[in-house]
Structure 1
Amino acid sequence: MRKHIVTLIFTVVLLIGGTTESFAASSSYKVQKGDTLYKIATTHKVSVNELKKWNDMKSNVIKPGQQLKIVKSDNKMKSKEAKKKIAKTPSRSDDDNVVKEITVNASAYTAYCNGCSGITSTGINLKRNPDAKVIAVDPTVIPLGTKVYVEGYGYAIAGDIGSAIKGNKIDLFFPTKAEAYKWGRKNVKIKILK
């Protein structure tokens, strides 16, 4: 009897002690009126592409009441915390996990241009977020949701598209027309980040 109790206690200790691995936890989120994929992704600290992948979505269209699956991983959270501790300096590309570097022709736009709604194709409301660093891209060159570093502009996200943005062209968001005019149009290097 005593031998069985010792064996049972030993087994329980092994089971509890052996659960130190990180497992992905899945939860769901009910889409509210006014939500965008970008807003939901930012709130849950995941990417728009991950949300679309987990929910088998082909577009960025969501509807109030829709249930979205959100996957959280302890390992992912720990790696994000570790990355936050590393100071990002534009001149230190080795910390940025640069996937590719290309030269592009960069123009500028605002949320208040003629015919603009102020909401990007990925759902970012630029009028409510004037400090957002967003670029419009040709998604066949730079996929939407990609993090980038643009020479002279800084870190940004590829969050919009434009009818004139084809090939190696990008359009940088600025909160005011004066800043957009000041930027003008120029060739710059862009680092596509992992």
Structure 2
Amino acid sequence: HNALDNGVTVNQLKEWNNLSSDLIIVGQKLSVGENAKASESTPSENNKSESNATEQPAQQPKEEKSTQTTQKSTTSNESSNNSSSAQGNVSKELTVTATAYSKAEPGMSHMTATGIDLNDNSRVIAVDPSVIPLGSKVYVEGYGEAIAADTGGAIKGNKIDVHLNSVQEVNNWGVKQVKVQILD
């Protein structure tokens, strides 16, 4: 809220304050502006009293809340990785090598092996049907819920191919080890 008032981006704030992440800790003092440190001490009375009046009440609760939401999302992530993360019960969990593909790639069809149109439902993974039965609802770590609705020549054994909407996203995904939960 305050950063926007000053026309400041998150990246600028991070740069000025040598922050490596977007997380701001309650009570942390941030500098705004290239000469943040110099300008902070120069305008004494005017700036201080004004910013105290506006910043303190507004910012404290906001910062605390954002810290709580961060913690909350971490815990929900943890529970989603370990316990049943999605609707339905987990009938099987396995670790697989995940690559990605996109209907946007040249020569790719938007129809899957099971007849799902990726234009209607893009949350699809390609599987080896002997490992993950086609039609299974799955939860893929780092991807979310999807349907095992496609196959691929290279997708044999504990391998999956997640469908993403753009070639750029496919390149960003690369190859990773992820947990897959098969949901009932």
Q: Shorter-chain TM-score category?
A: 0.5 to 0.7
User: Equivalents in 2 of 1:156, 1:143: separation in Å?
Assistant: 13
The match for 1:119 among 106, 111, 115 is 111
- Equivalent residue for 1:166? 156
Shift of 1:114: 3.3
- Equivalent residue for 2:27? none
Alignment of 1:1-194 (within 5 A): 90-91=80-81, 92-93=83-84, 96-126=88-118, 128-129=119-120, 132-194=122-184
Tell me which protein shows more helix as a share of its residues: 2
Greater C-alpha Rg: 2
User: Equivalents in 2 of 1:118, 1:152: separation in Å?
Assistant: 23
How many residue pairs align between the two structures? 104
Gaps of 5+ in 2: 1-78
Tell me which protein shows more strand as a share of its residues: 1
User: Equivalents in 2 of 1:183, 1:193: separation in Å?
Assistant: 23
TM-score, structure 1 normalization: 0.50
User: Equivalents in 2 of 1:109, 1:124: separation in Å?
Assistant: 15
User: Equivalents in 1 of 2:106, 2:154: separation in Å?
Assistant: 14
TM-score, structure 2 normalization: 0.53
Q: Partner of 1:190: helix, strand, or coil?
A: strand
- Equivalent residue for 1:67? none
Shift of 1:180: 1.0
